[in-house]
């Protein structure tokens, strides 16, 4: 689990091409978020929607279809980035709606069509449905997985992922990670309670870097104070 408390202006990273957004973002490498989704718990099939991230989000696509597959043929033969499953939207762009706003998102993306050099658009909406802006993922060769992730300086409630071909369809998606936008919810159960204090104390005692609330690389009394302030402020 990674908690990051600073953001910088939009930058390029690891082959990432980024379109402007109306707030700051910080491209990041692969991270372990509060919740992950590898699609391993789903059988290969086409669904109206999926409850992903342990029930913390709903995933679907245009036309109410989202596909889970172990193999997909197009201009290449796509295999999962890891494990035995990945997801794709067969009829248009895919979307994710989160039960609690998030402030970090990332995953591995590819395409089974020959669209090298073109972009996957990632549209961001806040938790009221207001469009914030969009980012872009520069695709590589067909069926070549690329990591893309961002820290976000604003809470996000919905993400849309649209490919450059076939009405936005056939973007391949695997091994997603999110961080819920509430640092004080330390046990990640969606609410604030005494268990968050216990989880923070245990992390601090174990020298777990997730307890480094001020991001200075050391665990000190200031981390306790910042956690207390975050708890008192409540969650969005």
Indicate whether 8 belongs to any domain.
no
- Say whether both 53 and 169 belong to one domain: yes
CA distance 110 to 99: 26
* Average model confidence (pLDDT) across the chain: 84
- Say whether both 53 and 95 belong to one domain: yes
CA distance 146 to 158: 22
pLDDT digits (tens, 9 = 90+) for 28-73: 999 888 789 999 999 999 999 999 999 999 999 988 899 999 998 8
- Say whether both 34 and 72 belong to one domain: yes
- Say whether both 64 and 147 belong to one domain: yes
Cα distances from 40 to residues 53, 54, 96, 166, in angstroms, run: 11, 12, 17, 26
Q: What is the pLDDT of residue 94?
A: 94
Structural domain ending residue among the three candidates 139, 156, 180: 180
Indicate whether 212 belongs to any domain.
yes
- Asked whether residue 166 carries a pLDDT value surpassing 50, the answer given is yes
- Say whether both 161 and 206 belong to one domain: no
- Say whether both 217 and 152 belong to one domain: no
Indicate whether 199 belongs to any domain.
yes
Indicate whether 20 belongs to any domain.
no
Structural tokens at position 142? 């067909």
CATH assignment of the domain containing 120:
2.60.120.200
Indicate whether 121 belongs to any domain.
yes
pLDDT digits (tens, 9 = 90+) for 61-80: 988 899 999 998 888 899 99
Residues 6+ apart with CB under 8 A from 21: 10, 124, 132, 133, 134, 135
- Say whether both 67 and 113 belong to one domain: yes
Indicate whether 127 belongs to any domain.
yes
- Asked whether residue 4 carries a pLDDT value surpassing 60, the answer given is no
Indicate whether 9 belongs to any domain.
no
Residue 200 belongs to domain spanning:
194-233
- Asked whether residue 5 carries a pLDDT value surpassing 70, the answer given is no
Band of the pLDDT at 220, cuts 50, 70, 90? very high
In terms of Cβ atoms closer than 10 Å to its own Cβ (0-12, 13-18, 19+), residue 209 is middle
pLDDT digits (tens, 9 = 90+) for 106-145: 999 998 888 767 889 999 999 899 999 999 988 888 899 9
Indicate whether 145 belongs to any domain.
yes
- Say whether both 165 and 204 belong to one domain: no
pLDDT digits (tens, 9 = 90+) for 112-121: 888 767 889 9
Q: What is the tally of structural domains in the chain?
A: 2
């Amino acid at each position: 689990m990674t908690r990051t408390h600073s953001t910088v202006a939009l930058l390029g990273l690891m082959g990432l091409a980024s379109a402007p957004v109306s707030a700051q973002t910080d491209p990041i490498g692969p991270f372990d978020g509060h919740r992950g989704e590898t699609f391993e718990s789903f059988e290969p099939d086409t669904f109206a929607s999926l409850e992903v991230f342990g029930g913390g989000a709903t995933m679907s696509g245009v036309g109410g279809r989202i596909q889970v597959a172990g193999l997909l043929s197009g201009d290449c033969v796509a295999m999962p980035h890891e494990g035995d499953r990945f997801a794709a939207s067969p009829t248009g762009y895919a979307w994710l709606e989160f039960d609690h706003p998030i402030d970090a998102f990332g995953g591995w993306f590819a395409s089974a069509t020959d669209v090298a050099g073109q972009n996957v658009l990632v549209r961001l909406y806040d938790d009221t449905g207001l469009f914030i802006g969009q980012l872009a993922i520069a695709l590589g060769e067909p069926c070549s997985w690329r990591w893309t992730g961002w820290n976000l300086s604003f809470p996000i409630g919905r993400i849309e992922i649209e490919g450059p071909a076939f009405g936005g369809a056939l973007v391949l998606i695997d091994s997603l990670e999110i961080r819920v936008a509430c640092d004080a919810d330390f046990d990640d159960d969606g609410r604030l309670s005494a268990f968050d204090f216990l989880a923070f104390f245990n992390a601090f005692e174990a020298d777990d870097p997730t307890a480094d609330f001020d991001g200075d690389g050391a665990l000190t009394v200031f981390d306790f104070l910042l956690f207390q302030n975050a708890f008192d402020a409540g969650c969005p």
